A and B are shown apart, each in its own frame.
Chain A
Amino acid sequence: MSQAVSHKFNVEEVRKDFPILSREVNGKPLVYFDNGATAQKPQSVIDAVSNYYAHENSNIHRGVHTLSQEATTAYEMAREKMQQYISAQHKEEIIFTKGTTDGINLVASSYGRHHIKAGDEVIISAMEHHSNIVPWQMICEEKGAELKIIPINDQGELDMQAYQEMLSPKTKIVSVVHISNTLGTINPVKEIIDLAHQKDIPVLVDGAQSVPHMPIDVQALDADFYTFSLHKMFGPTGVGILYGKKELLESIPPYQGGGDMIKTVTFEKTTYNELPHKFEAGTPNIAGGIGTAAAVDYVNQLDWKAVNEHEKDLLDYATEKLRAVEGIRFIGEAKQKASVISFVIEGIHAYDLGVIMDKMGIAVRTGHHCTQPLMQRFDILGTVRASFAFYNTKAEVDLFMKALERAINMLK
């Protein structure tokens, strides 16, 4: 089922899989261009979650009764599907988390506490989301380590030369974003990883924005850690994945203590469970896990080549149209770019544009997109961001343009 024959990409057909896309907002057909914040869910994911609660709901892993065994099987099946989807070598390298932020915090806390000492360095980039800044700041502060920032150019691309020079024996980990949520830049993560590995430095990749746009092969990338959220991959909210190489995950201590992560507990000494359970304390988001399996099935049947052509088409079409808008400044013009467009319009506040466009049924995101240091880099307070998924259309871009022009006229 998961390896179903890919059908020719037809956006109108694909849209039928997503019930929310046919609703109206403020009396207008919804144009959902906020996919960078969260993606919409196909009916199959909604059904899987609802079916779990209606027919299988039960706690997993230690129940002897039928329901518990069914739920456990379904949950562990999701882990296997994810393992295959991202080409991980072992099933136990797939850790269920609450989301990307949780995955980064896990690594910063467990790996950081174990490996980072005073005087060490952690490398991140200037385009990181706050969730890939703050956890590192916290551990660096605790340990007396230093956070180093890979600079970017005016197009929003990493300065790879500077990165290379930054890598040193003091560097304990590199943590970078695969695709920038604000700029859309697709970073050369393979190169980043290879350079770090030359000096035996592990790399964590924040894949929050990459999973909706491409399949990931963690072994081809040779990533040490790779983390993302299912809700951006057309799956349920509140569940994410942390992939980690087995030997690395085995070498670091648990993140949180509680049920499921233990082997034996006495008041004197607790021994920890094996991977992946060692990092999964407490009852997990079982429905989320089961929805994950449905999301993987869904993306597996996509013809990614066709999806990417369609998204590139949308990006080019919208960029071209926007270029004609008076006073526009694009924030993020990398050569390698996902279907994300951030911009500001001279003399008009992004918030005002967002409010007026919402009245016309257009959902875009405005503000700093949780990347305040990046805003400071471009000397702006915020942008309007339109982020496309494969179910968006050129007709929607036309509606978006009409709404934008109308909003600009009102606000000028």
Chain B
Amino acid sequence: MSSIAERQEEVVEEFSMFDDWMDKYEYLISLGKELPLIDDEKKVEENIIKGCQSRVWLDAELKDGKIHFTADSDAIITKGIIALMIRVLSESSPKEIAESQLHFVDEIGLKEHLSPTRSNGLVSMIKKMKTYGIAFQAKA
């Protein structure tokens, strides 16, 4: 299994193929559409991250020392970015997640989506993913 750093590099390389914003967003939208739906029973109040603009649900499970994330959003572009986050962070050890340095969103030119003015729930989601990493370290 590859590391978080390696998976970030993969995503960056993938996005380097797009030369205009349309292609990039179309890809992001398709990622959003393909992201497996989160189970309805996990779409509960304690898993919701309320952004002003879009809502995000995040659930985490610890299996064999790795964290397995599932997530969802009502906005498809937000969901596309979530799909990338999950691809990069999920199935890693709690320690690796807690210590991860996420730079890929910047590098693929989607930094604006992590700006607080967007208020789409993504910034809080990343924080929460890392918090799960810290919390599960105690259990792992």
Contacts and interface: CB of A to CB of B under 8 A. Distances in A.
Contact of A411 (B21, B53, B76): B76
B77 A352 contact: yes
Contacts of A366: 53
B75 A359 contact: no
A14 interface: no
Contacts of A170: none
B122 to A, nearest CB: 11
B52 interface: yes
B26 interface: yes
A156 to B, nearest CB: 22
A262 interface: no
B26 A351 contact: no
Interface in B85-121: 113, 120
A26 B75 contact: no
Q: Is the interface on chain A under 10, 10 to 19, 20 to 34, or 35 or more residues?
A: 10 to 19
A118 interface: no
B54 interface: yes
Contacts of A354: 53
Interface string B63-77: 000000000001111
Contacts of A26: 21
A411 B120 contact: no
A276 interface: no
B29 A411 contact: yes
Interface string A165-182: 000000000000000000
A349 interface: yes
B8 interface: no
Interface of B: 21-22, 25-26, 29, 52-55, 74-78, 113, 120
Given A349-B75, A354-B53, A356-B77, 13 more contacts: A349-B76, A351-B78, A352-B76, A352-B77, A355-B113, A359-B21, A359-B22, A366-B53, A367-B53, A410-B22, A410-B25, A411-B29, A411-B76
17 contacts: A349-B54, A349-B75, A351-B53, A351-B77, A351-B78, A351-B120, A352-B29, A352-B75, A352-B78, A355-B77, A356-B25, A359-B25, A368-B52, A381-B55, A381-B74, A410-B25, A410-B29
